[in-house]
Amino acid sequence: MTRLAGKTAIITGAASGFGEGMAKRFAEEGANVVVADLNLKGAQKVAAAIGAKAIAVHADVTRKDEVESMVQAAADQFGRIDIMVNNAGFTYRNGSMLDVDESTFDLITGVNMKSIYYAALAVVPIMEAQGGGAIITTASTAGLRPRPGLTWYNASKGWAISATKSMAIELAPKKIRVNCLCPVAGETPMLGLFMGEDTPEKRAQFKATVPLGRLSTPLDVANAALWLASDEAEFITGVALEVDGGRCI
């Protein structure tokens, strides 16, 4: 269980859901983990569950200064940064695109898009000086196969996928790999928003659209992220990896 031994990973949105799953799975494989989240108490709980190899950091990823502080905290505590996981995400309740107000739209673009830019500004120079690294973003099947009701969210995830591919090409000479994950909706706090409401009927309806017959789990996404972060994927860059039980087929 040492695929990430000696490596340090920053994971945003790590107080719950996919991010929590990644933090715990990465630590199991030997990584030092920075559990970053707007919810500091939740991040502290996850870090405490992991133990000495983790620290919790408050981070509003829509703010450049807080992203910089997050990265500095990681460098100060562990001495290096090998993996940057842009996992923090935001959505709105499934419904008409015309009902999304401007402040919500701005928050979607800030959390799902601009945070990737801020993180790159902060970690790329560090990774380059170290001789390489890995950047992973949690995108979504919504960016590959958009459906009605989440138009602006879908668009932000399509942007994240395109940014991933472009960053991968530009950063390849620096030995920095850039990939993203495209999970189908899963057992996270945002599930009810994606479906419009979280009821047994809605869940059954949604599961029926997934060939493997279930929602994604934090462990599904964590295992995929673990592989992309590890040296086993050293020749993999610019990939939008579908973790979706076949939904995008």
215, 208, 211, 205: which is closest to 183 by C-alpha?
215
Torsion, CA 79, CA 36, CA 19, CA 122, rounded to 10: -60
- Token pair in block for residue 219: 């462990």
Q: Residue 121 contacts by C-beta under 8 Å, 6 or more apart in sequence?
A: 64, 67
Residues serving a catalytic function are 153
Distance (Å, rounded) from C-alpha 166 to C-alpha 168?
5
